[in-house]
Structure 1
Amino acid sequence: MKKLRLTLSLLVLIGITTSCDDFLSEVPDNRTQLDTPQKISEILVNAYPQASYMDFAETMSDNAFDSENLTGTTIKNSQNYNWEELDDVQRDTPSFYWDACYSAIAHANQAIEAIDKLGNPANLNAQRGEALMARAYSHFMLVSIFSQRYNPATAKTDLGIPYILQPETVLLKKYTRNTVEEVFDNLEKDIELGLQFVGDDYDQPKFHFNKAAAKAFASRFYLVKGDWDKVLANSDNLSSQPDGKLRSIIGYNLLDTTTRFNIYSQASENSNLLVVSTSSLYNRTIRSNRFGLTGAERNTVFGTATNLFNKAWLYSSFSSNGSITIFLPKFVEYFKYTNANAGIGLPYVTNVLLSNEELFLNKIEAHIMKNELSTANAEMEYFLSTRTTGFSPTADKVTEARVVAKYPVVADEFTPFYSLTPVQASYIKAVAELRRIEFIHEGLRWFDIKRFNLKVTHKIYNKPNNVLVKDDLRRAIQIPLYVTNTGVEKNPR
Structure 2
Amino acid sequence: MKNRILYWVICLLVFTSCSDFLEDYSQDLAYAASTSDLEELLIGNCYIKRTAKKTSLSIAGSEKHTFPWLHVMDDDCVERNSATDAYGGFMPIEGFYHWDKNPFNQNGTPYKDETWSDLYSRIAIANVVIPKVDDMTEDPMEERNRIKGEALFLRASFYYFLVNFYALPYSKTTADTELGVPLKLTEYIEDKYFSRNTVAEVYDAIVEDLQQAIPLLKGVEQTTVYQANEAAARLFLSRVYLYMEKWEDVIAQCDSVLKMATYSLEDLRSFTMGTSFTRSGSPETIFSQGSYSMDLVMREQYYSEWYTAILPCPVVSDDLQDSYDENDLRWQAFMLESYKTPGLYRCIKLRDQDVDGYVSDVFLLRMAEVYLNKAEAQAMSGDETGAKATLNILRENRFVQGQMPAIEEEMIANRDENFIDFIRNERRRELCFEGHRWFDLRRYAVSSTHPFTKEILHPHYSRPSASQYSFEGNFRLKKYNEETAYVLPIPDYAISYNNGSLVQNVIREERKINN
SS at 1:212 equivalent: helix
Partner of 1:96: 114
Partner of 1:83: 99
Indicate whether 1:131 and 2:148 are aligned.
Answer: no
Per-residue CA shift, 1:246-305, capped at 9, x if unaligned?
1233333x25x4xx13x6221x22211111253x654323214756324xx4x53233x5
Per-residue CA shift, 1:188-240, capped at 9, x if unaligned?
22121112212453552411120111110010000001111110110114659
Structure 2 CA distance for partners of 1:70 and 1:226, relative to 1, 3 Å: farther
1:427 is aligned, of 410, 419, 423, to: 419
TM-score (norm 2): 0.74
Structure 2 CA distance for partners of 1:235 and 1:486, relative to 1, 3 Å: same
Partner of 2:12: 8
| Cα distance, 1:433 vs structure 2 | 1.0
Indicate whether 1:65 and 2:85 are aligned.
Answer: no
Indicate whether 1:148 and 2:168 are aligned.
Answer: yes
Give RMSD over aligned pairs: 3.4
CA contact 2:32–2:38 (8 Å) conserved in 1: yes
- Structure 1, unmatched stretches of 5+, are 1-5, 14-19, 336-347, 410-425
SS at 1:100 equivalent: helix
Matching residue's letter, 2:152:
L
Indicate whether 1:478 and 2:494 are aligned.
Answer: no
CA contact 2:379–2:420 (8 Å) conserved in 1: yes
Partner of 1:43: 41
Partner of 2:288: 275
Which range is displaced more, 153-162 or 316-325? 316-325
1:293 is aligned, of 315, 326, 330, to: 315
Indicate whether 1:462 and 2:484 are aligned.
Answer: no
SS at 1:474 equivalent: coil
| Cα distance, 1:87 vs structure 2 | 3.3
Indicate whether 1:380 and 2:391 are aligned.
Answer: yes
| Cα distance, 1:29 vs structure 2 | 7.7
Structure 2 CA distance for partners of 1:173 and 1:27, relative to 1, 3 Å: farther
d(CA) in 1 for partners of 2:118, 2:150: 18
Indicate whether 1:368 and 2:379 are aligned.
Answer: yes
Per-residue CA shift, 1:100-136, capped at 9, x if unaligned?
3223212211211212444798431222222111111
d(CA) in 1 for partners of 2:93, 2:352: 20
Structure 2 CA distance for partners of 1:334 and 1:392, relative to 1, 3 Å: closer
Indicate whether 1:113 and 2:113 are aligned.
Answer: no
| Cα distance, 1:459 vs structure 2 | 3.4
TM-score (norm 1): 0.77
Per-residue CA shift, 1:126-165, capped at 9, x if unaligned?
2222211111111011101111110132122212111221
d(CA) in 2 for partners of 1:447, 1:238: 23
SS at 2:331 equivalent: coil
CA contact 1:146–1:161 (8 Å) conserved in 2: yes
d(CA) in 2 for partners of 1:153, 1:94: 34
Per-residue CA shift, 1:333-364, capped at 9, x if unaligned?
569xxxxxxxxxxxx97445211111110011
SS at 1:71 equivalent: coil
Partner of 1:450: 442
CA contact 2:166–2:490 (8 Å) conserved in 1: yes
d(CA) in 1 for partners of 2:40, 2:104: 35
Structure 2 CA distance for partners of 1:152 and 1:72, relative to 1, 3 Å: same
Partner of 1:212: 231
SS at 2:392 equivalent: helix
The percentage of counterpart residues that share the same residue type is 22
CA contact 2:182–2:196 (8 Å) conserved in 1: yes
Matching residue's letter, 1:318:
L
d(CA) in 1 for partners of 2:174, 2:421: 24
Partner of 1:356: 367
Partner of 2:346: 326
d(CA) in 2 for partners of 1:377, 1:27: 51
